[in-house]
Structures are given as C-alpha cells and as structure tokens.
A and B are shown apart, each in its own frame.
Chain A
Amino acid sequence: MRGGDAIIKALMDKGVDTIFGYPGGTVIPFYDMLYDSDLRHILVRHEQCAAHAAEGYARASGKVGVCLATSGPGATNLVTGIANAYMDSSPIIAITGQVVSNLIGNDAFQEVDIMGITMPITKHSYQPKDANDIPSVINTSFEIASTGRKGPVLIDVPKEVQEQELDDYVLGTIPTPGYKPTIRGNSKQIAKAAQMLKSAERPLILAGGGTILAGAGEEVKKLAELIKAPVATSLMGKGIVDEKEDISIGMLGMHGKQVANQNVNKTDCLLAIGCRFSDRTTGKLEEFLPEAKVIHIDIDPAEIGKNVAVDLPIVGDAKIALDQLINELEGSKIDESAWFKSIVDFKKSTIPRVSYDDIPLKPQQVIKEIAGAITEDTIVTTDVGLHQMWAAHFLDISKPRKFISSGGLGTMGFGFPAAIGAKVACPDDAVLAIVGDGGFLMVSQELATIKEHDIPVVIAMLNNRKLGMVYQWQNKMYNKRYSETDLGNTPDFVKLAESFGINAERVEEVDKTQEVLSKALKDNESMLIEITVEKDEFIPMFPPGGGINDLLGEYKYEKDVAGGK
C-alpha cells in the first residue's frame, strides 16, 4: 500500500463515501490510485466549488466533507471555500498535493505554502512527510474537524509521500495534548442559569449555528416551551425550531424580522446558544440589549464575552448543556406569561407581505412561490446577496440542516456548489439552490458537474441583472450612484444551461413560478429556473453601524393586502 492508497483507505475507514476534487500535477499519484478504488469522486469544474460542495455535504448531513486539489493554484482556489467553512464552523477536510519534499522552499513549479496561507482560516493543518503517518493524520484530522467548535482541517501531502510504500497501515492518532474541548457545561453555572431563567419576566432565546452543528433542535424547542421564551435565530441558526410555529420569531439582525428586531431589546434575560453575536446580528453594540442579563452557551470559550458582555458564561456543547439545563428546570412551573403572548400577537400582526401581483415579479412573491413548492424536507441553499436575505427573511424553514447559506464570509458563488454537496449527501431529499444572477455566474461551470454526475439540483435564480445587495446600499446610502452594479443583459441563462444539457426555463409570471418549481423538485431532475424579478424592491435593514432598531426602508404587512392573494 502506498501513500495515496492510504489516503483513500483512511477516508473510507472514516466513513467517507464521496469526495469532491480536481486533479493536477502533484496529485496524479493519488488519482492513479483512486482509479482502482471504490471511493466516489465528484469531478468539479473549479476547486473553489470542491470546497463549497464539501461544506454543503457536511452541513446537510452532519458528517465531515472532503475536498481535494493539487498544489499551487489548485490549493489557492480552495482558499475561499476553506475560509467560508472556517467562518461558519463547518467540518471539512481539504487535502492538497504538494511538490516533492526536496523541492519545497525552492519556488518549484506550482509550489505554494498552502499551510502558511491557510493558517488563519483552518482549525489545524498537517503536512505528513512519511506515508506511514497518513492514516493517523487523517484520523486525527477528522477528530479535530468534527469535535469542539467544528472547522476545516488542511492536509498537505507532498507528491513522493503519496507514492511511498507504507510499512504498515495503522489508523492511529497523532497526539494533540493541547486539544481538549469542553463538552459538558459546568453544573454550578447551569444551576445559576436555571435560576436566572426562572426569575426572568421576559426571557428570549437567541440560537445560532452552533445549535444546528450540535443537533440541538429538540433541546432548544423543549427549553423554549419550558420557560416560555420566544426563539430568535441568527442566519446560521435558521431552522433550529420550526419557523412556522408561534415559538419562533425568525432571524434577528440587519435584515431580520420585525418581530425579532423590535423585541430583542425588551428582554430582561437573553439566553444565547451557539452564536457569536456578529455585527450583522447585533447592530451597534451600545444599543443592543440595554436591560438584559445575558447567558451565553458556547463550545468556544473565545466567543463568550468577545462582542457582548456576558453575565453568565457556560462553555459546552449546545445539545449537552441544554439537556443539563432542561434537567435542572424540569418540574419547575413557569406560567404562560403576558410577555410570551405579546410576542405571539406581535408576530401575527406583523406577518411580512409576500403577496403581490406585479410584473416583473417582486422577490417576496417569488419566495412565497418557493415556499409553496418545497416541503419541510427540501434542502434549501442560498448564495449571497439580496436573494439570500429575501429567503432568510421571508422563507420559513421547519427543520435544522435544511437551510444552508454562507453566513460569516458572505461568499458569492457558494449556493450552487453547496447544493451539489447537499444532494450528494442526501440523495433522497430534494435540493433547491436559491441564487442570484451575479453569484450564479461565478460558478455556472458546475452545471457540467451536475450533468456528468447526474446530481439533480434545482436552481431558482432570482435575476435582476444587478449586483443587488450592493445596488441596494448604493440606492439607500450612496445617493443612487450605481457604480459597477449593473450586470448587463448577458448571458442568456436558459441557453447557458441548455448548452450544458441542463433543462432551463425563464419564468416571468406569478402562477407559472410555483408550477415549474414544484414539477422540477418532484421530478428529481436538474433544472435552472430563471425568474425575472423587480430590481428596485429592497429589503428592510438597519444601516451598517446602526442599532438593531434603526430602520432603512419599511416593513410591509400581508394583512394590508387588499383581499389577499
């Protein structure tokens, strides 16, 4: 067995069925060995998409996603995807080829110090110099990527190490004495948290991506019901509780729901779980939570107190700590409060307007049609920009891991390849990528990937021929000086998709949208649906640097629609 075989065997021993990659000079030995193996390889058409697909795979399934690229440009093309996984704490393993060891440091052909380049955006990295270490390096990388605060691990394998014969294949571990994530919450702190929540009059829960990573959906719901607290989420926490239910008040933040943004500051006790209080979630910190005691549960101690001052820190896994907290609270009787009722009433009276009959279609209306076409098991991925915020704000998600979006890094081009990864991980679930025309064009070459590998992904492209989010900022904050945000009239997206052999349809009217989407999702076939949307419809926001209750734009309500629609 040689180094490359050991990579394949170790990955398979760790339960990996599929990897996403792209060959090149320094990984030819690996690919030669892959030729005879049972490991499924999805050939993407750009390495960045291999990393995004691995992340989509990881986030849809909860397993570790794996991508692979050659040295030099192959490796640097992975960088955006690795950074995205780092910001959103997604467990992926990126394997790169490296020039032969005796050339490292010589500026050899396609040599780049990818360990150095990715140091700030990986949880850890390895460069095995001896093929005998490969199984253990892979084993330990899985451990690091998928425990504690999850994140990407890079393994850089010099070419000759891939070819080196192993003495023995041992799936051991590389010692990591400095790596001991805290999993269980401190019981004294848990008891204090229970007291604080019991005596709170207006408790509120803020659930972030950490709750989804921990699989804490049931626990969040149970606790919220126990203490009668509404649940807001960050973008990354979307779907942790069913957003259709009374208990959910949706996304908080710059483009958050009115019910979340306008009530968060009224709470007297905020329980934040697995969230990092990003500036996009909190707005101006001085105006955030003026009267609340804050309990913060997070697996990463560095997140606690980093942005928001915390009264009670609890380091631990969200699922386990919540379970402890529930045990502590069970039996205590907390009555349905006026507070909770007022929030439910607020939510019901501020249901955002999604019904319009305008042509071109309003984006809100498109989201309404999408909502009608998907089920609660459909995996929705989004790209980054206006369409993402339309989806985050208006589309109710009912289950964890069904909304996959680029949060921290805000990577245009993420949505489509992430959908590919999600579909590979969950072939039985329908997968819908909601994208914009700008971001989709950054990764449209992956239409070849879904065609060649027969990966049925439905793409709903909201096309406004604009770089919409920047266009909105220019409209609201830069005197409508639309510098370089008009994307012009090319390409013809339908023809583009068809040239890859992917069915496509342009939709411009209301009724057609849902029909086409539903059929495509039901047929389990790849399809690009281009939906022409109004370019001057903007989503309410607080301005950058503004407080959570500052408002640019206006909230519109479904109840105001004459006669409904």
Chain B
Amino acid sequence: MSEKSHVISTLVEHKPGVLQNVASLLNRRGFNIDSITVGASEVEGLARMVFVVRGDEKVLEQVIKQLHKLVDVVKIKDLDPEYVLKRELCLVKVKTGKANVRSEVIQYADIFKAKIIDVCDDFITMEVTGHPDKIDSFLKLLEPFGIKKIARTGPTAIARGHH
C-alpha cells in the first residue's frame, strides 16, 4: 500500500481544547499531519477542521476511527481526491527596490490573480489564493526577486457538487 496524501474534513464542536485534543490524538497515534485548518462552519456551534494526512489505507482508516472516538468530533469525511476542491491562502512580501522589478512582480501578480494589499518603497505584499500547487508555482516565480516573508494557511477543502 502506498503512502498517499488524504484530505479529511471534520465537523467539531467549536470550543476551547478541541484543536489540542485532535492534534494530540493524531500525534500520539503516530499519524503524519501536513496541515490543519479550522474555522466556523455552516452549523452554529460547530467548526470545520480540515487536515491533510499522509499514510496508507490502513493508517487512514485508523485516523478516522480514532477521530470518531473523540466526543467533540461530530462528523468525519475523507474527501475523494477526484472531487475535492482544495484551496489555500498565502500572504507574501517581496523585495521590489527597483522600479522595473516592481512592475515585473505586478505582472506576475496579475497572471496569478494575486491581490496587492500593501506597497512601500522596498516591498510589495500580495495575497494569493488557490490550489496549493498554484501557490507553490507563484512563490517559485517570486523567489529570484527576494522573498521577505511568507504566511500560508495550509489548504482547506470541500467536496465538489453533490459529493
């Protein structure tokens, strides 16, 4: 069985300690977590926690079963990679000392539909959202200019259409 990346979407009670409990469970059972995102959901009092784990089918099955045991976890879904909509937000601050550099960066930002959210004499700060792969490519393009800071949220996800 191969190690694959899985996106697991859960509904959890929106209260203190739940993130700690989930993270601690995944950690002590030896599951590799790539990322966790948490935020309010469509149901009042419940938060949606999306995480990406790596492992084979057996690992995945255990992750899901162990999560089910937490009283604060209400629902769990392993999102089918074929129908998953995965998006991430990234803030990036790039060095743009020279005027020609600045316009080049702005062109790239246009192509990637990144939003410029702050400009000063030396830096441009941009906001880009999209599939993590898209963000990776954007950051790669910016690298030669000198990236000052990156803040990524990690992916959150939802299933497409009726899935």
- Which A residues contact B (CB, under 8 angstroms)? 115-116, 119-120, 123-124, 144, 149, 176-179, 300-302, 305-306
Q: How many Å from the CB of B150 to the closest CB on chain A? A: 31
Query: Besides A178-B71, A301-B68, A302-B68, 13 other CB < 8 A contacts?
Result: A115-B17, A119-B24, A120-B28, A124-B72, A149-B69, A176-B71, A178-B70, A178-B73, A178-B74, A300-B69, A302-B62, A302-B66, A305-B58
List residues 46-103 of chain B with CB under 8 A from any CB of chain A. Answer: 46, 58, 61-62, 65-66, 68-75
Interchain CA distance A116-B61 in the complex, whole Å: 26
Pairs across A and B, CB under 8 Å, 15 listed: A115-B17, A119-B17, A119-B20, A119-B21, A120-B28, A123-B69, A124-B72, A144-B71, A178-B70, A178-B72, A178-B73, A178-B75, A302-B62, A302-B69, A305-B61
Q: How many Å from the CB of B29 to the closest CB on chain A? A: 10
Interface status of B25 (Cβ within 8 A of chain A): yes
Give the interface SS of chain B, mostly helix, strand, loop or mixed: helix
What chain A residues lie within 8 Å of B74 (beta carbons)? 177-178
**Contact: A306 with B62, CB < 8 Å?**
yes
What chain B residues lie within 8 Å of A301 (beta carbons)? 65, 68
Option from A144, A179, A302 in Cβ contact (under 8 Å) with B65: A302
Most buried by B among A116, A149, A178, A301: A178
Interchain CA distance A298-B57 in the complex, whole Å: 21
Interchain CA distance A123-B25 in the complex, whole Å: 12
**Contact: B68 with A123, CB < 8 Å?**
no
Interchain CA distance A159-B72 in the complex, whole Å: 25
Interchain CA distance A472-B71 in the complex, whole Å: 42
Q: How many Å from the CB of A144 to the closest CB on chain B? A: 6
Interchain CA distance A176-B70 in the complex, whole Å: 10
What chain A residues lie within 8 Å of B58 (beta carbons)? 305
Q: How many Å from the CB of B143 to the closest CB on chain A? A: 40
What chain A residues lie within 8 Å of B68 (beta carbons)? 301-302
Interchain CA distance A178-B73 in the complex, whole Å: 5
Q: How many Å from the CB of B43 to the closest CB on chain A? A: 9
Interchain CA distance A119-B17 in the complex, whole Å: 9
Q: How many Å from the CB of B87 to the closest CB on chain A? A: 26
What chain B residues lie within 8 Å of A176 (beta carbons)? 71
What chain A residues lie within 8 Å of B20 (beta carbons)? 116, 119
Interchain CA distance A496-B21 in the complex, whole Å: 44
Q: Which residue of B lies closest to A305 (CB)?
A: B61
Query: On chain B, which size bracket covers the interface?
Result: 20 to 34
Interchain CA distance A301-B75 in the complex, whole Å: 15
Interchain CA distance A562-B128 in the complex, whole Å: 87
**Contact: A120 with B75, CB < 8 Å?**
no
What chain B residues lie within 8 Å of A124 (beta carbons)? 71-72
Q: How many Å from the CB of A302 to the closest CB on chain B? A: 4
Interchain CA distance A306-B58 in the complex, whole Å: 8
Q: Which residue of A lies closest to B74 (CB)?
A: A178
Given contacts A115-B17, A302-B66, contact A179 B61 (CB under 8 A): no
What chain B residues lie within 8 Å of A305 (beta carbons)? 58, 61
Q: How many Å from the CB of B18 to the closest CB on chain A? A: 10
Q: Which residue of A lies closest to B27 (CB)?
A: A120
A-B pairs, 5 with minimum CB distance:
A302-B65, A178-B74, A124-B71, A179-B71, A177-B74
Q: How many Å from the CB of A118 to the closest CB on chain B? A: 11
Q: How many Å from the CB of B64 to the closest CB on chain A? A: 9
What chain B residues lie within 8 Å of A300 (beta carbons)? 69
Q: Which residue of B lies closest to A144 (CB)?
A: B71
Q: How many Å from the CB of B17 to the closest CB on chain A? A: 7
What chain A residues lie within 8 Å of B75 (beta carbons)? 178
What chain A residues lie within 8 Å of B24 (beta carbons)? 119-120
Interchain CA distance A400-B60 in the complex, whole Å: 36
What chain A residues lie within 8 Å of B62 (beta carbons)? 302, 306
Q: Which residue of B lies closest to A151 (CB)?
A: B69
**Contact: A120 with B73, CB < 8 Å?**
no
List residues 1-50 of chain B with CB under 8 A from any CB of chain A. Answer: 12-13, 17, 20-21, 24-25, 28, 46
Interchain CA distance A477-B92 in the complex, whole Å: 59
Interchain CA distance A535-B111 in the complex, whole Å: 80
Interchain CA distance A417-B71 in the complex, whole Å: 30
Q: How many Å from the CB of A157 to the closest CB on chain B? A: 16
What chain B residues lie within 8 Å of A149 (beta carbons)? 69
Interchain CA distance A179-B65 in the complex, whole Å: 13
Interchain CA distance A177-B25 in the complex, whole Å: 20
Interchain CA distance A176-B72 in the complex, whole Å: 7
Residue-wise, chain B 91-119 has the 8 Å CB interface mask toward A (1 for contact) of 00000000000000000000000000000
Q: Which residue of A lies closest to B17 (CB)?
A: A115
Q: Which residue of B lies closest to A176 (CB)?
A: B71
What chain B residues lie within 8 Å of A115 (beta carbons)? 17
Q: Which residue of A lies closest to B58 (CB)?
A: A305
Interchain CA distance A144-B72 in the complex, whole Å: 12
Q: How many Å from the CB of A298 to the closest CB on chain B? A: 11
What chain A residues lie within 8 Å of B25 (beta carbons)? 120
Q: How many Å from the CB of B68 to the closest CB on chain A? A: 7
What chain B residues lie within 8 Å of A119 (beta carbons)? 17, 20-21, 24
Q: Which residue of B lies closest to A306 (CB)?
A: B62
Interchain CA distance A179-B20 in the complex, whole Å: 19
Q: How many Å from the CB of A316 to the closest CB on chain B? A: 15
What chain A residues lie within 8 Å of B70 (beta carbons)? 178
Q: How many Å from the CB of A315 to the closest CB on chain B? A: 10
Q: Which residue of A lies closest to B11 (CB)?
A: A178
Q: How many Å from the CB of A150 to the closest CB on chain B? A: 12
Q: Which residue of B lies closest to A309 (CB)?
A: B58
What chain B residues lie within 8 Å of A144 (beta carbons)? 71
**Contact: A123 with B66, CB < 8 Å?**
no
Interchain CA distance A123-B73 in the complex, whole Å: 12
Interchain CA distance A144-B21 in the complex, whole Å: 17
Q: How many Å from the CB of B59 to the closest CB on chain A? A: 11
Q: How many Å from the CB of B28 to the closest CB on chain A? A: 6
What chain B residues lie within 8 Å of A178 (beta carbons)? 12-13, 70-75
Q: Which residue of B lies closest to A300 (CB)?
A: B69
Q: How many Å from the CB of A104 to the closest CB on chain B? A: 11
Q: How many Å from the CB of B114 to the closest CB on chain A? A: 38
Interchain CA distance A306-B65 in the complex, whole Å: 10
What chain A residues lie within 8 Å of B61 (beta carbons)? 305
What chain A residues lie within 8 Å of B69 (beta carbons)? 123, 149, 300, 302
Interchain CA distance A51-B126 in the complex, whole Å: 56
Interchain CA distance A115-B21 in the complex, whole Å: 10
Q: How many Å from the CB of B136 to the closest CB on chain A? A: 35
Interchain CA distance A149-B66 in the complex, whole Å: 13
Q: How many Å from the CB of B20 to the closest CB on chain A? A: 7
Interchain CA distance A387-B71 in the complex, whole Å: 38
What chain B residues lie within 8 Å of A177 (beta carbons)? 13, 46, 74
